[in-house]
Structure 1
Amino acid sequence: MSKTYYKAINWNELEDAIDKSTWEKLTEQFWLDTRIPLSNDLDDWRKLSEEEKTLVGHVFGGLTLLDTVQSETGMESLRQDVRTPHEEAVLNNIQFMESVHAKSYSSIFSTLNTKKEIEEIFDWVHENEYLQTKAKIVNEIYKNGTPLEKKVASVFLETFLFYSGFFTPLYYLGNNKLANVAEIIKLIIRDESVHGTYIGYKFQLGFNELPEEEQTTLKDWMYDLLYTLYENEERYTEELYDGVGWSEEVKTFLRYNANKALMNLGQDPLFPDTANDVNPIVMNGISTGTSNHDFFSQVGNGYLLGEVEAMKDEDYLIGLEYMK
């Protein structure tokens, strides 16, 4: 008999049951932006000031860039170091959904903005110093980092760096504005919560196999990276939010989510900020359930998308639970 050339993936024989449970979670919460009635937000949009409209455009432009990095470079780099074939399948799913996220922002632009405004948004994205800096830092780690460093960069992106942008739609949702735009963001947050905990869990498996000295070195590198990213994120936040007076509140939100990223990686929090320090309007925006649109009424058997659940501290402890 000839030697096996290529092995088929067998989901009935699992090396890590978390791969299967994560796959099932991600497929259960599948969604597409085209089924959300964004045009229903046009009345709210017209009532915003020009400064607020510019903020929304820049926020979503920045998020588009980060999702593009994650879909084009991030998941590809993580796939090079998988522990199981099932992990690669999960990363394939994550990569596709990151592309869905990036495309969703364009759906928002095409609904709210003119062609000229969209071009101006993308010009701003391509020229913004702080946005390009964080994309470069993360991308360089994806290209040249160790397998564990890549996972750290991915978790920092998913659970921390996105949130300077997420603040805006969550704030408006908490004030009963732009509800359908926020619906998309809440669906993205739900995805990113799973992505961050799963990749953080895979990091912990590898980290726990390292000798103590190597763990210490990696932890020092991790916290140095977080400091670097946070300092840049402060400048980015000030450029975005100083004009509307939200900068300090956004920084609190960032520090809170930086701690969540560290928790996903099984590490101790760095900042003193907790959920109680975050603007309650934003936390209310996170916790409000979706409108539960029938996204698939014209497709297949017409099943409903489940509700977006509130983000809780335990959402970020999944990786820790996996380790027990």
Structure 2
Amino acid sequence: MTTLDNSYYQAINWNAVEDIIDKSTWEKLTEQFWLDTRIPLSNDLDDWRNFNDDQKENIGLVFGGLTLLDTIQSESAIEALRKDSRTPHEEAVLNNIQFMESVHAKSYSSIFSTLNTKAEIEEIFEWTNTNPQLQKKAEIINEIYLNGSPLQKKVANVYAETFLFYSGFYAPLYYLGNNKLANVAEIIKLIIRDESVHGTYIGYKFQLGFNELSNEEQEEMKEWMYDLLFTLYENEEVYTELLYDKLGWTDEVKTFLRYNANKALMNLGMVPLFPDTANDVNPIVMNGLSTGTSNHDFFSQVGNGYLLGTVEAMENDDYLIGM
């Protein structure tokens, strides 16, 4: 029998899981698998035709920005995180996350192809690839993926998953609460359901590494984390004004951002920074954050938005460890 010392490559053994969180996260993510092709986006065209130009512009820019972030998450983030996996099962979970981030990015293009003309789509991507605020946050996050420490990469990932996406999520959640663009919002809710697991899982892995640091190293990491969050939030304020000033929603979107920034810190086991709570967020939008979804495919038995089993969103407490 060959010993481990002589192994060239070791097979992954799911019957010998080192960290039960890896197994439970894998099961959660595979249970809630979905694809955008089963969401009837064309049913939203009547709502779309009744939107004014400012509303249409906002949705286009929102989804352009989300596409860019999900592209980074699928192309750079997981490659960066995979190098520092603690277990082979963590690598498997990250592979799952990487694929779903690609599904997310593609989903926005499905929305574009339903609602927009070819010329409009080209304009949206031109804006996305040149907007200073959007490119700045892309650069900040991606540079950490390329050059940061293992723990810094995890912080950047959680900030993206649990904070930076939410300036874009606000608009479709608001429309959902007003019975508009229900199928577009269905995709956003499915994405949010994924991101809630991604953010808490990576946050948990961060906490494992953070607890191995000395007290001095922990304080240095905390200072870096909060400084980074301030930098990202300042940029996000300008980005939010650009997206929402014409609709008069800017202040309430910023409240939503601060609430989600706190959630990101909590995923990392840190103390919230901002005073904003769920009670301060527009209740219509907070209601949309619930991860239950509505479509049902009776032929495939994919129900309540793509449930392949009885799936509930994992709570942050499932991933918290002693700090």
TM range (shorter): over 0.9
Equivalence map 1:99-110=2 (5 Å): 99-110=102-113
Asked whether the 8 Å contact 1:264–1:318 carries over to 2, the reply is no
Identity %: 75
SS of 1:127's partner is coil
| CA shift digits 1:191-216 (9 cap, x unpaired) | 00000000000000000010000000
Asked whether the 8 Å contact 1:287–1:310 carries over to 2, the reply is no
TM-score, with structure 2 as normaliser: 0.95
Q: How many residues align?
A: 317
Asked whether the 8 Å contact 2:28–2:311 carries over to 1, the reply is no
Divergent runs of 4+, >3 A: 305-312
Structure 1, unaligned stretches of length 5 or more?
none
Structure 1 residue 288, shift from structure 2 partner = 7.7
| CA shift digits 1:145-199 (9 cap, x unpaired) | 0000000000000000000000000000000000000000000000000000000
Structure 2 residue 45 is matched with structure 1 residue 42? yes
Which residue in 2 is equivalent to 1:270?
273
Provide the C-alpha distance between the structure 2 equivalents of 1:323 and 1:219, rounded to a whole number of angstroms: 16
Structure 1 residue 315, shift from structure 2 partner = 2.6
Structure 2 residue 133 is matched with structure 1 residue 135? no
Aligned with residue 94 of structure 1, among 76, 94, 97: 97
Structure 1 residue 268, shift from structure 2 partner = 0.1
Provide the C-alpha distance between the structure 1 equivalents of 2:52 and 2:36, rounded to a whole number of angstroms: 26
Structure 1 residue 311, shift from structure 2 partner = 9.6
Which residue in 1 is equivalent to 2:127?
124
Which residue in 2 is equivalent to 1:231?
234
Asked whether the 8 Å contact 1:142–1:150 carries over to 2, the reply is yes
SS of 2:134's partner is helix
Provide the C-alpha distance between the structure 1 equivalents of 2:103 and 2:303, rounded to a whole number of angstroms: 16
Provide the C-alpha distance between the structure 2 equivalents of 1:189 and 1:120, rounded to a whole number of angstroms: 26
Asked whether the 8 Å contact 1:151–1:200 carries over to 2, the reply is yes
SS of 1:281's partner is helix
Provide the C-alpha distance between the structure 2 equivalents of 1:288 and 1:223, rounded to a whole number of angstroms: 28
Structure 1 residue 310, shift from structure 2 partner = 11
* CA RMSD after TM alignment: 1.8
Structure 1 residue 293, shift from structure 2 partner = 2.1
Aligned with residue 196 of structure 1, among 196, 199, 203: 199
Provide the C-alpha distance between the structure 2 equivalents of 1:311 and 1:68, rounded to a whole number of angstroms: 26
Which residue in 2 is equivalent to 1:23?
26
Which residue in 2 is equivalent to 1:304?
302
Asked whether the 8 Å contact 2:133–2:239 carries over to 1, the reply is yes
Structure 2, unaligned stretches of length 5 or more?
none
Provide the C-alpha distance between the structure 2 equivalents of 1:292 and 1:112, rounded to a whole number of angstroms: 20
Structure 2 residue 210 is matched with structure 1 residue 210? no
Asked whether the 8 Å contact 1:265–1:319 carries over to 2, the reply is no
| CA shift digits 1:271-321 (9 cap, x unpaired) | 000000001111122238422321x83xxxx23244589998x8333321x
TM-score, with structure 1 as normaliser: 0.94
Which residue in 2 is equivalent to 1:63?
66
Structure 2 residue 289 is matched with structure 1 residue 286? yes
Which residue in 1 is equivalent to 2:160?
157
Task: Pick closer, same or farther for the CA change 1:183–1:232 going to 2, 3 Å.
Answer: same
| CA shift digits 1:109-131 (9 cap, x unpaired) | 00000000000000000110000
Which residue in 2 is equivalent to 1:81?
84
Task: Pick closer, same or farther for the CA change 1:311–1:10 going to 2, 3 Å.
Answer: closer
SS of 2:129's partner is helix
Structure 1 residue 18, shift from structure 2 partner = 0.5
Provide the C-alpha distance between the structure 2 equivalents of 1:303 and 1:87, rounded to a whole number of angstroms: 29
Asked whether the 8 Å contact 1:263–1:317 carries over to 2, the reply is no
Structure 2 residue 105 is matched with structure 1 residue 114? no
Asked whether the 8 Å contact 2:64–2:124 carries over to 1, the reply is yes
Provide the C-alpha distance between the structure 2 equivalents of 1:51 and 1:310, rounded to a whole number of angstroms: 37
Task: Pick closer, same or farther for the CA change 1:311–1:222 going to 2, 3 Å.
Answer: farther
